[in-house]
Amino acid sequence: MGYAWDGIRRRPGRSALTGLGIGLATGLVVLLLALSAGVETSATTLAYSSGVDLLATSSAAGNTSILNGAPPPIPGSHPLATEVPAADPNVAVASPWLIEGLVFGNGSLWADANNSSVPFGWEPTSSGAIGWIPSDNSGLETPALYQGTGFTAPGDPHYANGSFDGPSTHEIVLDQALAEVLDLRVGDAVWAQPAAPPSAATLPAWYAAATRFTIVGVSAPFWLVPSALLSFVYLSELQSIYSAASNATDYSTLVLIHLTDPTDPAGDQARLARAFPALSFFTLADILSDIQHVVNVYRTFGELIAAIGLAVAALFTTTILQMSVDDRSRELALLRAVGYRRARVGLFVVEEAMILAGFGLAVGLPVAWGSGLAIDSFLRRTVTGLPAGFSFVSFDAAVILAGVAIVVAVGLVAAVAPAARAMLLPVAEELRAP
């Protein structure tokens, strides 16, 4: 090891550049691994803490994956809240949810429209909307209220046991990001329609046809639909915005199921699939598997970039070690002449490569750590609607060990050709050389 250190000390500038090259390549790989690990870990943690043990969608059009775009509508949604628990006593809650898009206009834009003084750059705000039965979500992790008391009526009053002639509450909860965009607070009014007005001149007519809601709460972001501006209303009232609500149009997008005993979700999945052949049921493992597939696609591109960086670092290190062997060829030949075996001379080169790789590790891990924290902080400030606890990076033990393994591999691969050259130097010719 002393001989390897001596070679490095003789050429400090070249050695430093080599260590830096290995470090930057290693840092890039570790950062990419930390990013993918962060998304996977956050998704898994949020999913398993959500209370959702099974998720149902319509099986129409061969829907077999939760990530196959927008799933077909589930008809007869309100009765499912009682029919699913009746078919499987282990189901504690079956909550139908309708996920649609709405366009919102606030009171100040309404006043400007009525005064014909709409400012330049006017634009109602598009947002995701979730229709649900607020009192039927026991056991499910729903967004915490930051402000307001939330929905006041139990059940779904407008549904009125299937008649759809009950009173509409016109209550709505906005997540904090949407409330900030619209500059609204609890008690304010907000208007919603499925489509945006085509021009400023049509704003008065758009407001006249829109549904007026009163804000009863401002909530935290939602784990199920991260990085989105969201609103929450009663299921039947969201259905009414899109069509004349009736049993024929009683549809939803998803049914979230919470089990009393979640230890065997696959058994409940099979039982419910037999009872409801028109629905597709997914366990959390199914959902996370689909998410993992998407993450793997992006990870593949990252691995290609990382592989190129590591190949360049290995070639650069090989070149530096070859130069080191050439510079000390007479010394190495002399070592052979005084009795050092070929393997021992080759080991000197490998030791030098591993010391340089160690320098790279000392540079790469801090670079990856600092870059990861900076990227995570930037994305948290930039991406709205992230759930609490979501992190884009995770430097767990597997990521750190992968970084160490990569550095060792680069050092060993880079040392192969220079070590072979050192072992095969012609001793007599090197010693006779001037």
Q: Which stretches does DSSP call E strand in 270-394?
A: 279-283
CB 269 within 8 A of CB 91: no
What pLDDT is stored for residue 313 in this prediction?
A: 79
CA-based nearest residue to 232, from 98, 352, 139? 98
What pLDDT is stored for residue 120 in this prediction?
A: 65
- Hey, is 183 helix, strand or coil? coil
What pLDDT is stored for residue 7 in this prediction?
A: 61
Domain ranges of the chain: 2-46+290-432, 52-261
Q: How far is CA 3 from CA 7, 352, 416, in A?
A: 6, 8, 18
Contacts of 219 (CB under 8 A, 6+ apart): 143, 144, 145, 146, 173, 174, 175, 176, 232
What pLDDT is stored for residue 70 in this prediction?
A: 63
What pLDDT is stored for residue 433 in this prediction?
A: 57
- Determine the Cα–Cα distance for residues 47 and 66; give it in Å rounded to an integer: 14
What pLDDT is stored for residue 189 in this prediction?
A: 95
CA-based nearest residue to 368, from 400, 398, 337? 400
- Hey, is 62 helix, strand or coil? helix
- Determine the Cα–Cα distance for residues 310 and 419; give it in Å rounded to an integer: 20
What pLDDT is stored for residue 90 in this prediction?
A: 96
What pLDDT is stored for residue 226 in this prediction?
A: 60
What pLDDT is stored for residue 300 in this prediction?
A: 73
CB 216 within 8 A of CB 150: yes
Distance of CA 46 to the CA centre of its chain: 11
| Residue corresponding to tokens 């080759």 | 346
DSSP run (H or E) holding 369: helix 342-382
**Which pairing describes strands 145-148 and 211-219: parallel, antiparallel, or unpaired?**
antiparallel
How would you write the pLDDT of the chain (434 residues) with one tens digit per residue? 665 566 666 676 777 777 787 888 888 888 888 887 887 777 777 777 788 899 999 886 554 544 455 678 898 999 999 999 999 999 999 999 999 989 998 888 777 777 776 666 677 888 889 999 999 898 998 888 999 999 999 999 999 888 888 999 999 999 988 999 899 999 999 999 999 888 877 888 888 899 999 999 999 888 776 656 899 999 999 999 988 766 778 999 999 999 999 999 999 999 999 999 999 999 888 777 766 666 666 667 766 777 777 788 788 788 887 887 777 777 777 777 777 787 787 787 788 788 888 888 888 888 888 888 888 888 777 776 666 667 888 888 888 888 888 888 888 888 888 888 778 777 666 556 55
Counting DSSP H helices and E strands in the chain, the numbers are 13, 12
- Hey, is 191 helix, strand or coil? strand
Q: Which residues of 370-397 are buried (b: 16+ CB within 10 A; e: fewer)?
A: ebbeebbeebeeeebbbbeebbbbbbee
SS3 content of the chain, % helix, strand, coil (to 5): 55, 15, 30
